[in-house]
Amino acid sequence: MLSRYAALVKNMRGVVVFDLADDISQDLKWLTDRFKYRILGVPPSLIDKISKIAKPLVPLAYPHKDLIEFIEFTSRTLDINREIVEAICLASCYVSPILALGSRSQKSLKPISISTVPTKIKMNLQDWKLHLRIADYSVLDLYEWSTTHAEKLWEPEVNIEGLMTERLEAIRRDKKRYWRLQKGDLEPRPFLVYLDLIQALWRKNMDAKVLTKYDKDVVSACLAINVAVFIRATLQ
């Protein structure tokens, strides 16, 4: 129902993704303790892999059935697990950051990431609360521009390289939000990565125009510039 979708978008604070081979119990508990009064989305392919789905965890649904074919296409093209692509697309659709639990999901995200924000500080709870909120702002502030910008692919004549440069520049500007994480002297560790399916596909030497075989009004919702926060890596 559209009303349920709207309610989820309003209150969601992240979409969780993980690999079935990882033990995520500790990290998931840490997250759910932090978001008792908000919502964390669980993609359909991972719902049955969590022993108990209860608030703040909620199952997500596809806003449109045509996204299934697009997710399968993108998974094959990028040669990554379907669960990862599903999480990226749904996080974009629900205007939420991805919360990557466990080393394997993070390892899967790194090859398709566009840019990384490292942390050089030992993050306490206040640092976590602040930077999870900043990650949420990154998604919100980039969403309208990056999805509208993606729609240029459907125009008869578009400068693809120019389009990619503009998206990279948007990420470069947004990264400045995380300046506090650079104020330490620890060995840098990934805090989050920026994700952009358009750039990831283009880096595979795929003609980005191939996306135009899909409905612009549906698929563009998956094409926001997003972020994935590496929960496990920064808790260790």
Q: Which of 41, 57, 53 is nearest to 92 (CA)?
A: 41
Task: Determine whether 192 is exposed, middle or buried from the number of CB atoms within 10 Å of its CB (0-12, 13-18, 19+).
Answer: buried
Three-state DSSP state, 23: coil
Q: Name the average pLDDT for the chain.
A: 90
Task: For 177-186, write each residue's pLDDT tens digit.
Answer: 999 999 999 9
Strand partners, 16: 99
Q: Which residue type occupies 42?
A: V
pTM over 0.85: yes
Does 70 have pLDDT greater than 90? yes
Per domain, the residue ranges of the chain are: 2-235
Task: For 28-63, write each residue's pLDDT tens digit.
Answer: 888 888 887 788 999 999 988 887 777 789 999 888
Does 232 have pLDDT greater than 60? yes
Task: For 78-105, write each residue's pLDDT tens digit.
Answer: 999 999 999 999 999 999 999 999 999 9
Q: Which of 152, 161, 164 is nearest to 220 (CA)?
A: 152
Task: Show the tokens assigned to 63.
Answer: 């806003």
Greater model confidence, 13 or 134: 134
